[in-house]
Amino acid sequence: MARAKLNFLEAGEGDGTPVLLVHGYTGDSQSWRLVAPLLAQGRKVYSIDLPCHGTSPVIAPTSFSHFVEMVADALAAEGFERFHLVGHSLGGAVAFALSEHMAGKVQSLTAVAPAGLDREVDGAFIDEYVTATDPAVIKAWLQRIVGRSFQLPDGLAELIAEKRDDPERIQAQLAIGRMFFPASVQDIDVSEHMNKVSVPSKIIWGKHDSLIPWQHALNAPPQIGLHFLPEVGHMPPLEAPQALSDLISEIIATAEAHQA
């Protein structure tokens, strides 16, 4: 299987245990641009571009486990030894799988509206959003998955449209969507990984999420904390960065208190 050297963005300085942020489907490392600076207090924060996303190589995974292995290999190549792990949406599913794959290195885990906990998903968004290049269409799809009262930042749809200039990358993302979310269902199941989580962990979900139902969080085992954000949809890193970073910081503090 192909090994990928994935792209990372770095923020912050300090000797604290670093944080790794993993974005969702069709996103990239910039998806965390509002959250990363808030977490970068006395520690480095790394935002990864998943395979076929951002500026990482277009190497198509053969399965979800292969997708996770590519991420794990890239982390090993970059020398990640101990880190706090945060994943959003598809990145949340990756985070649960990584927590087992890299057991002993992951010090805490926060999953934000994670995929892989049940079957339901908005298949229309998965099928149509990835290939949209008109800013007006992109904006309409994004407005569909955020909270009803949230207004998208000016210029966001145009920025996303500008990034969609590589047909090979778009087709690779489309193939990933069809592999992981075929026929409007989730074909990823991370429940076994989730049930084995032994580090301080939390699931955070917007109560107005129309892409993946927040009720999927109720499938979590009792050792994983649950926190629901009112009036927030599927995009807490965009909609509620301060609240999200505060909750992530809490679970990091819990983990580090246990290690002291």
pLDDT tens digit sequence for 179-207 = 999 989 999 999 999 999 999 999 999 99
CA distances from 234 to 10, 17, 85, 212, 237 (A): 25, 28, 19, 7, 9
* 2-6, 38-42, 116-120, 155-159: the lowest-pLDDT one: 2-6
d(CA 200, CA 121): 27
What average pLDDT does this structure show over 83-95? 98
Angle between helices 135-145 and 156-163 (to 10 degrees): 120
- pLDDT of 173 strictly over 60: yes
How crowded is residue 77: how many other Cβ atoms within 10 Å of its Cβ?
12
pTM, two decimal places: 0.97
Q: Cα angle vertex 115, ends 113, 121, to 5°?
A: 95
- Higher-confidence residue of 258 and 211: namely 211
pLDDT band at residue 2 using 50, 70 and 90 as cut-offs: very low
d(CA 91, CA 99): 12
Residues of the chain with pLDDT > 70: what percent? Answer: 98
Contact by Cβ (8 Å): 173, 130 = yes
pLDDT grade, residue 258 (50/70/90)? confident
* Rounded Cα distance, 149 and 194, in Å: 32
Residue range 131-149: average pLDDT?
Answer: 96
Q: What is the pLDDT of residues 222-248, one digit of tens each?
A: 999 999 999 999 999 999 999 999 999
Regarding beta strands 43-48 and 8-11, do their DSSP bridges make them parallel or antiparallel, or are they unpaired? Answer: antiparallel
pLDDT bin (cut points 50, 70, 90) of residue 1 is: very low
State the pLDDT at residue 187. 97
Cite the DSSP H helix spans in the chain: 36-39, 64-77, 90-101, 123-128, 135-145, 156-163, 167-180, 191-195, 236-239, 241-259
Six-digit token string for 124: 């229309």
Q: Grade residue 3 by pLDDT with cuts at 50, 70 and 90.
A: low
Pairing of strands 225-229, 201-206: parallel
Q: Residue 29 pLDDT > 80, yes or no?
A: yes
* Cα separation, 130 vs 178, whole angstroms: 11
Radius of gyration of the CA atoms of the chain, in A: 17
Residue 63 has pLDDT above 80, yes or no: yes
- Look at residue 254 and tell me whether its pLDDT is greater than 80: yes
Q: What is the mean pLDDT of residues 142-160?
A: 96
Rounded mean pLDDT of 160-165? 95
Quick one: DSSP state of residue 131? G
Tell me, what's the pLDDT at 179? 97
State the average pLDDT over residues 200-222.
98
Residue 111, number of CB atoms within 10 A of its CB:
32
The answer to whether the beta carbons of residues 13 and 35 sit under 8 Å apart is: no
CATH placement of domain 8-118+188-259:
3.40.50.1820
- Could you tell me the sign of the dihedral formed by the alpha carbons of 252, 235, 34, 90, in that order? positive
Phi then psi for residue 96, to 5 deg, are: -60, -45
For the residues 53-81, what does the mean pLDDT come to? 95
